[in-house]
Amino acid sequence: MDGSFLIGSRALTTDETFRAIDPSTDEALDTDFAVSTTDHVAEACKLAADAFDSYRETDPEDRATFLETIAAEIEGTDGLVERAVAESGLPEARLTGERGRTCGQLRLFAKLLRQGRWANVVVDNAMPDRQPMPRADLRQRRIAIGPVAVFGASNFPLAFSVAGGDTASALAAGCPVVCKGHPAHPGTSVLVGRAIQSAVKKCGLHEGVFSLVQGTSNDLGAALVKDPRIKAVGFTGSRGGGLALVEIAQKRPEPIPVYAEMSSINPVILFPEALKARGKDLGKAYVGSLTLGSGQFCTNPGVVVALDGPDLDAFADTAAKALEEAQPQVMLTGGIHKNYDQGVQKLSGQSDVKTLARGAEGTGCNRGRAALFETTGEAFIRNPELAHEVFGAASIIVRCTDFDQVAQVLEGMEGQLTATLQIDEGDHETAKKLVPILERKAGRILANAWPTGVEVSYAMVHGGPFPATSDPRTTSVGTAAIERFLRPVCYQDLPDALLPKAVKHDNPLHLPRIVDGESE
């Protein structure tokens, strides 16, 4: 591995460099990585703009083949998982699975392209004899929005980074991508970037379809979002980082959408019958979800809401004992570990909060010690700080007096990625009253599961009202993610010779269509 970044087909270096840090030791890893300049950002954006018109009109089959080629190149990249382990502190098994998910996403979008529904082709045939006025021939399709800036995520070095869901869905839509690699894992970013670069060449595409810039400065990301050739942004990270990008994007002469996935505490509601029947089992499963990956999931169960009483006591006691045995795991970076400790200290210092348990003491750098707290429904409603996200394995149990107070607790929460119901059949009538609240608050509602698994599928929604995301109409996981990077265009009375393939009269791409209001 060398420390170059990728501008189109070229690998470039500069005199200014940085190194990745192994979070398990706080020691710098080998390889000096070159820092991209704002001039390099501009060059990458120009190449992306140059590539746009030809790439967006590639046949769906050609784009599908391209995505599958990227997946094959990633799978054939030696040392990728090992490097990701060294740069993130995540275990090898987790990252092996994440590589599989990354390639699975690419292949799912390839399948979507071949199915054709994404193009949303609608034809209203001309009605020249219609009274009192004739109707023109109208044809609609969706086209790519333009070059997209993608920011790599710290907690998913593969699945939400250089070739992750934002890149896969943008490329599927026909949008060139300029990616800013996350500074915590530059080696992983370069290895994946080279896989995409190789796929671009093998598929005979314009070199500007993909570029990768690297560096530790926020100014680099700001320059990328400010560039007038960028037409949308994909981001997964902190609320502060996401909002900073939204502000930059909205202050441009041409504002653009920022699809930022940011902050969520993912409430879990324990219903009485479920708590009575299996409270202890729920307590163990809850801690397993909470401490998975040191709690560094955007879908981590950060708050549990339930009616006060003996059954909740049994749940809390079991959860506390399980959490006390939880071994501290390496967190992604020293900065994330520091912020986690500060968040835990802030919660424990609240007058209305009781510390139920802390995880086992650990040795070594950046180990996140799990934390479990409890409070009352009244205190949670009164103090908004208790609902702030602590990124890591920390959660709070909220003891409510009745279901009216449960509803008040939920109504007072910000937007969430998920909301979970732990219910038995006897709880259904009570749960029905809360579902409308949860629909307004969350993008995904689960029953009798835990939120820390996100299936990549056609129906999945990984989004939600602010601050879970900056745009609640969209998802960053699943095939619907492609819709973020498409816009509709209508063609009125254009001669067939001027129509794009997707809406030509003889339908040469064999896309599914709605013709005169009927499926064809």
Q: Would you please indicate which residues are annotated as catalytic (active-site) residues?
A: 261, 298
Angle at 443 between CA 438 and CA 288, to 5 degrees: 85
> Helix, strand or coil for residue 446?
strand
Longest dimension (CA), the chain: 82
How far is the C-alpha of 290 from the C-alpha of 32, rounded, in Å? 36
Closest CA to 350 of 320, 318, 329, 376: 376
Strands 486-492 and 367-368, bridge-based pairing: unpaired
Which residue type is seen at 457?
S
Using omega within 30 degrees of 0 as the cis cutoff, is the peptide bond preceding 132 cis?
A: yes
Distance CA 502, CA 134 (A): 25
Question: Within 13 A of 385's CA, how many CA atoms are on the CB side?
Answer: 11
Q: At what angle do helices 239-251 and 218-226 cross, to 10 degrees?
A: 40
H-assigned helices in 57-91? 60-75, 80-88
146: left (phi over 0), alpha (psi -120 to 50) or beta: left
Give the side-chain half-sphere CA count within 13 A for 50.
13
Work out whether the CA dihedral 243, 245, 251, 253 comes out positive or negative: negative
| 3-state SS assignment for residue 54 | helix
DSSP state of 295: G
Using alpha carbons, select from 131, 134, 168 the residue that is nearest to residue 148. Answer: 168
Residue 162, token pair as written in the block: 């250089």
Closest CA to 164 of 147, 145, 181: 181
- H runs (alpha helix) in 227-305: 239-251, 272-291
- Asked if 127 and 112 touch (Cβ cutoff 8 Å), the reply is no
- CA 12 to mean position of chain CA atoms: 29
Q: Are 165 and 105 in contact (CB under 8 A)?
A: yes
CB-based contact 20:187 (threshold 8 Å): yes
Q: What phi, psi does 124 have (nearest 5°)?
A: -110, 100
